[in-house]
A and B are shown apart, each in its own frame.
Chain A
């Protein structure tokens, strides 16, 4: 069985169990008058059953089964680039209320562009500054979206 399938199936099984457990604490009612918890409880059990069936089917499948072979031509993942890109995006959300939209956008773009391989400092600065300014004009000044202003107050 592929490791991803085993992990995925197990996570879904446990998630189904958790949902069923939490729903069981709610009023289940009767079939005549279903309560708040009945539908999610049934869904939790259904997910557990499907996940168990999935794990079983994968465990029983022979190694020659195409589902158990790695897909052909699967592209390699640049994990470092991905983590830097996503990490910077998450970090910018902490900066957004503090620095305000234009400054946080500028920093985010600067970092994301550099992460993806734009190395020329001039181009990086021009791109980040112009996009941050244009998006501020478009979203804040024109569409009047109340994006966080932060300490700078823009």
Chain B
């Protein structure tokens, strides 16, 4: 335990250098803007900024990109509260009570409690990371190809189950992602697959193009397709003096913040869109245990404090599986995995020993980043909120231009832009037809790893599939997979039993 603290102090030494501090600040500000701007979420935001990190050393690059991720969580709450439009999906639940508070002239207090809650949650979650990551990395050293294959399979099934919407649709999206991941050179034999004679496809499908396309362009098109009145929605901008929460606000929020932190930290460790699930779970808990549940939906500060703390804690703890197992469980961390690989850092159990500077430097920078965000978000909220005054009809073309130029800068290739626009159109259709994009992106990033693990496992066992069941960790992951595969059926059966028990007439 004390050893971890020692490493963390070394990490602070790395994170507090002038250069890294600067990139932490840049990441935090960029993340806040990404969270605020409609049409850009953390996934597209991180993907767009990867090219800007090419000239940086890996530590500075990941410090900046991680800052974008957790910065977006702070920024996302601003649009939820002021505009009733979530800046990103993790802030959807904040709209309910946050916007109601704004309607009652308490937007400043809502924003302030978001910033305070996020800071406390982020700080506690980072300490959790410090103590949990090293023992987990040690345990993960025992993982071989069968364990990794089963874990990734488990991740896809759990993610498909919890993303909301149809389980089958999400599962199909994960399979599509895996298929797209097979385009290019076979990672084992080096043969070409699905390249159709195009040299551009030899290197595989550029995941940055898919990420910006599905999440950036798809969202822009979704906004563009809205009617005029939605494009013209107005925003409430709070005054600075309205920003300070009262003692009663703080008293009511502190328990929610701590509970949200616990929920968020736990949810961040398992596969799925952790911040989104964490906010829903926290809101439900707060509503259930509240002494005044009738206030929920009408501007209860607990309904803002809990979920906002939960999404920040989840966002921090989501780094644990990424760094320690090398397996991202959430789409933004999947993009971060791509960034780490671009910078020559392979995350996994050996990351702590091979790249301790990156690991501990990034963790320490998160603490600093959270402090920067607290300082930024309290006094500068009116400034950020003014960005929302720019009409969407001006913002959307700017976001489109930024996506086009940002995409070109990844490989200096026009082909990438075409690919991005193709996935943008696909992302728009998927939104309209309610197909989740997150499983597709995660599967695309993890697909090649999963295939290698699958083929290596079969080679080790001489073609015997029983290997996946005879190794304890692998068997446990497969058991969880099976449970989640059966879950929709169990839920449907449970509902049927309930209906028959309580409504024997069979009516609705």
A contact set with B: CB distance below 8 Å: 4-5, 8, 12, 15-16, 19, 22-23, 26-27, 30-40, 43-44, 46-47, 50-51, 53-54, 57, 64, 67, 71, 75-79, 81-82, 85-86, 89-90, 92-93, 96-97, 101, 105, 108-109, 112-113, 116-118, 127, 131, 135, 139, 143, 145-148
Q: Is the CB of A117 within 8 A of B393?
A: yes
Q: Which residues of A contact B393 (CB under 8 A)?
A: 113, 116-118
Complex CA–CA separation, A77 to B429 (angstroms): 12
Q: Is the CB of B458 within 8 A of A89?
A: no
Q: Is the CB of A86 within 8 A of B221?
A: yes
Complex CA–CA separation, A5 to B433 (angstroms): 7
Most buried by B among A40, A92, A139: A40
Complex CA–CA separation, A47 to B171 (angstroms): 9
Q: Is the CB of A36 within 8 A of B193?
A: yes
Q: Which residues of B contact A19 (CB under 8 A)?
A: 179, 194
Q: Is the CB of A40 within 8 A of B179?
A: yes
Q: Which residues of A contact B412 (CB under 8 A)?
A: 145-146
Q: Which residues of B contact A77 (CB under 8 A)?
A: 225-226, 432
Q: Is the CB of B458 within 8 A of A32?
A: yes
- Pick from B4-12, B320-328, B402-410 the stretch touching chain A: B402-410
Pairs A–B under 8 Å by Cβ, sample size 11: A8-B169, A8-B433, A26-B193, A36-B186, A47-B172, A50-B171, A54-B166, A75-B230, A109-B398, A116-B393, A147-B408
Secondary structure dominating the interface of B = helix
Q: Is the CB of A113 within 8 A of B397?
A: yes
Complex CA–CA separation, A143 to B178 (angstroms): 34
Interface residues of B in 420-439 (CB under 8 A from A): 421, 424-425, 432-435
- Whether B463 sits at the interface, judged by CB under 8 Å, is yes
Given contacts A50-B168, A78-B227, A85-B224, contact A40 B194 (CB under 8 A): yes
Q: Is the CB of B396 within 8 A of A116?
A: yes
Q: Is the CB of A50 within 8 A of B175?
A: yes
Q: Is the CB of B227 within 8 A of A75?
A: yes
Q: Is the CB of A54 within 8 A of B168?
A: yes
Chain B: CB-nearest residue to A146: B412
Q: How far is the CB of A59 from chain B (nearest CB, A)?
A: 13
Q: Which residues of A contact B433 (CB under 8 A)?
A: 4-5, 8
Complex CA–CA separation, A8 to B415 (angstroms): 27
Q: Is the CB of A135 within 8 A of B401?
A: yes
Q: Which residues of B contact A43 (CB under 8 A)?
A: 175, 178-179, 182
B contact set with A: CB distance below 8 Å: 51-52, 166, 168-169, 171-172, 175-176, 178-179, 182, 186, 188-189, 191, 193-194, 221, 224-228, 230-231, 392-394, 396-398, 400-401, 404-405, 408-409, 412, 414, 417-418, 421, 424-425, 432-435, 451, 454-455, 458-459, 462-465, 508
Additional 20 contacts, C-beta under 8 A, given A26-B191, A85-B400: A8-B169, A26-B193, A32-B459, A36-B189, A50-B168, A50-B171, A51-B172, A76-B227, A77-B226, A82-B224, A86-B421, A89-B400, A93-B414, A109-B397, A116-B394, A116-B397, A145-B409, A145-B412, A146-B412, A147-B408
Given contacts A31-B458, A117-B393, A147-B408, contact A86 B425 (CB under 8 A): yes
Given contacts A89-B404, A113-B394, contact A44 B179 (CB under 8 A): yes
Complex CA–CA separation, A71 to B230 (angstroms): 18
Q: Which residues of B contact A148 (CB under 8 A)?
A: 414
Q: Is the CB of B194 within 8 A of A131?
A: no
Q: Is the CB of B172 within 8 A of A12?
A: yes
Complex CA–CA separation, A15 to B226 (angstroms): 30
Q: Is the CB of B176 within 8 A of A47?
A: yes
Given contacts A34-B455, A78-B226, A85-B221, contact A22 B432 (CB under 8 A): no
Q: Which residues of A contact B221 (CB under 8 A)?
A: 82, 85-86
Complex CA–CA separation, A35 to B193 (angstroms): 12
Q: Is the CB of A39 within 8 A of B189?
A: no
Q: Which residues of B contact A105 (CB under 8 A)?
A: 401
Which of A37, A67, A135 is B166 in contact with, Cβ under 8 Å?
Answer: A67
Q: Is the CB of B394 within 8 A of A139?
A: no
Which of B231, B396, B405 is A145 in contact with, Cβ under 8 Å?
Answer: B405
Q: How far is the CB of B154 from chain A (nearest CB, A)?
A: 16
Q: Is the CB of A47 within 8 A of B175?
A: yes
